[in-house]
Structure 1
Amino acid sequence: MIAKAMAKEAGFRFINLQASTLTDKWYGESQKLAAAVFSLAIKIQPTIIFIDEVDSFLRSRASYDHEATAMMKAQFMSLWDGLITDPTCQVIVMGASNRPQDVDAAILRRMPSMFHIGMPDKDQRLCILDLILEKEYLSDDIDLTMIAEETSNYSGSDLRELCRNASVYRVKDYIKFNNPDTEHSMQEFDMLRPLMLADLQQAKIKMEESKQKRDGVPQTSIGLD
């Protein structure tokens, strides 16, 4: 998201490069695909080539690497050097990784600037929640400032997952109360109800329990109030 925002602000075109794009079962085709990516980027420049999880694609080279993989990495870095040596070229290569220690040292030398993206603070979490829920039908009991305070260990993706899980409870209620087998009037529930604080509380408890099971930590119930 940061890379896309930078491309938009700078007026650059954006190429989101997936590792699967450069893999092919035929020998030598991966190098041709890498060359095609750089050729396209140069033709439509100014361009940002973005590689997510760059450690999985350009991780440290080893003697046991497959020959085709090693050749693809070498071709990619050779083409990258061609961008650097051309003073008129406006193509930037960006990457993101949760494991920068696994990225090849030669790749890090070609990326002179590195930025650590930390967890959002309270004000940033509030802005993220405002953005996620700006078009949602919210109940009057929701206090986004309080939610931002109570989610101190949440990343932006965690907050999005929290809101997504909370919205599921609205859909479940809609299906439940529009079931012909129930005694509830369908006219009373002819649309999704507003998102309530209880939905976010329940979603947060569910996320915390999932995280604790994954990390092997004894479970505790955590609420927003």
Structure 2
Amino acid sequence: MSRQEVTVKLLSTLLGLATSCAITYFGVRWLVNAMDPTHREKKAARKKAEELLRQVGVEDVKLSDYELCIAANIVDTLTINMTWDDIGGLDSVIEEIKESVILPFRERQLFSDSVLLQPPKGVLLYGPPGCGKTMLAKATAKATGAKFINLQVSSLVDKWYGESQKRAEAVFSLAMKLQPTIIFIDEIDSFLRSRSSNDHEATAMIKTQFMSFWDGLITDPKCHVMIMGATNRPKDVDAAILRRMPCMFHVGLPGKAQREKILKIIMQKEKIGDDVNFSQLAEATEEFSGSDLRETCRIAAINRIREYLVSRENSVDQSHRQAEDRQITMSDLTLAVGKMRQTKLSAIRAPMPIEAD
């Protein structure tokens, strides 16, 4: 066999091996993607992330696949309609947030020479549910003009070993590339609860990785990244996390004057009768949260529609006029307060489910 024939045979063998390896690689890759039920969701999340980045004005930043997965949680602050005027009864908390969080966050050049006046790298909003913690976080993000990452814990979880830790790292690397950035974690106690020996290994590693990179933010004075959490169970949050969130704001149940202001804000765009007495309603809604007050007003508005529908069946000719003239009256709101209070009492008195042995 001549040298030329040997060379041709060797090249054909190498070409065959390369083709076989390529087919095997792409075949295995296709098989893995086909077996992954979340493959399409991940692909859609990447497209969503790229679109969101364009909306917030980020175009020339190169992101990894892990960072793109986290970028799907970005919220465009221009689409946030929440302002300080929409939050009633929390004037003292709002003033503290403006002074200790927003001012040093927006006017960093005024405090560049002071270490003590740097914006906090961790902020915790805690208090009973339905009192406006999430609303405060949204209004803070809009006021600071920062990029807002509403972090969903599910976006950190992956079935492959070690991938969750890489995603936890991507949270901070993405925030650093987009800074100034606010990372918001709602119900932070469900993610960063107190560690114990019963924790799953993967969960423990995610928490450790998250806190490790969080420390990197604290030690870097030029970093414009802040983590904001909200919880109604602060005692369940890990002590090491609470140490990293020194700036805490208690968002409690509104008092009478606060409830009156909240009711006026909720009803300001509704048709209400002249007999509506907000002071009397505030007195009758003791221990109601802001969410409870909104639900109370919604029940009153539904009662107005219910009566209109009944009257329309009885008198078709006057139905249009009745729909325009009918206002939310004090009797509607009083009835709604009674229904809401009964609902709250029923929920408290509901028997706990008995677990089977």
Select which of 187, 190, 194 maps to 2:327: 194
CA distance, structure 2, for counterparts of residue 18 and residue 67 of structure 1:
20
Q: How many residues align?
A: 215
Q: Which stretches in structure 2 are left out of the alignment for 5+ residues?
A: 1-134, 351-357
Alignment pair present for 1:206 and 2:320:
no
Q: 1:66 is matched by which residue type in structure 2? A: H
Give a deviation string over 1:169-222, Cα, whole Å, max 9, x none: 12323333344xx444333334483212122111111111112222229xxxxx
Select which of 124, 129, 140 maps to 2:274: 140
TM-score computed with the length of structure 2 as normaliser: 0.56
Residue matched to 1:221: none
Q: Which shows bigger deviation, 37-46 or 53-62? A: 37-46
TM-score computed with the length of structure 1 as normaliser: 0.86
Residue matched to 2:263: 129
> 1:83 touches 1:91 (CA, 8 Å); kept in 2?
yes
- Please give the residue correspondences for 1:1-225 in structure 2 after superposition, counting only pairs within 5 Å: 1-179=135-313, 182-185=314-317, 186-191=319-324, 193-216=326-349
Q: 1:211 is matched by which residue type in structure 2? A: K
Q: CA deviation at 1:152?
A: 2.4
2:326 is paired with a residue of what secondary structure?
Answer: coil
Give a deviation string over 1:78-120, Cα, whole Å, max 9, x none: 1211211211111111111111111111101111122222221
| Alpha-carbon spacing, 1:121–1:67, altered in 2? closer, same or farther (3 Å) | same
| Alpha-carbon spacing, 1:23–1:176, altered in 2? closer, same or farther (3 Å) | farther
Identity, % of aligned pairs?
58
Give a deviation string over 1:123-180, Cα, whole Å, max 9, x none: 222221122111111111112222122222112111111112222212323333344x
| Alpha-carbon spacing, 1:167–1:190, altered in 2? closer, same or farther (3 Å) | closer
Higher helix proportion (structure 1 or 2)? 2
> 2:271 touches 2:327 (CA, 8 Å); kept in 1?
yes
1:142 is paired with a residue of what secondary structure?
Answer: coil
CA distance, structure 1, for counterparts of residue 343 and residue 150 of structure 2:
31
CA distance, structure 2, for counterparts of residue 94 and residue 212 of structure 1:
33
CA RMSD of aligned residues (A): 2.1
- Bigger CA radius of gyration: 2
Q: 2:154 is matched by which residue type in structure 1? A: S
| Alpha-carbon spacing, 1:24–1:133, altered in 2? closer, same or farther (3 Å) | farther
Q: Which stretches in structure 1 are left out of the alignment for 5+ residues?
A: 218-225
CA distance, structure 2, for counterparts of residue 88 and residue 22 of structure 1:
26
2:272 is paired with a residue of what secondary structure?
Answer: coil
CA distance, structure 2, for counterparts of residue 167 and residue 3 of structure 1:
28
CA distance, structure 2, for counterparts of residue 64 and residue 24 of structure 1:
20
> 1:17 touches 1:51 (CA, 8 Å); kept in 2?
yes
> 1:174 touches 1:192 (CA, 8 Å); kept in 2?
no
> 2:281 touches 2:334 (CA, 8 Å); kept in 1?
no
> 2:141 touches 2:147 (CA, 8 Å); kept in 1?
yes
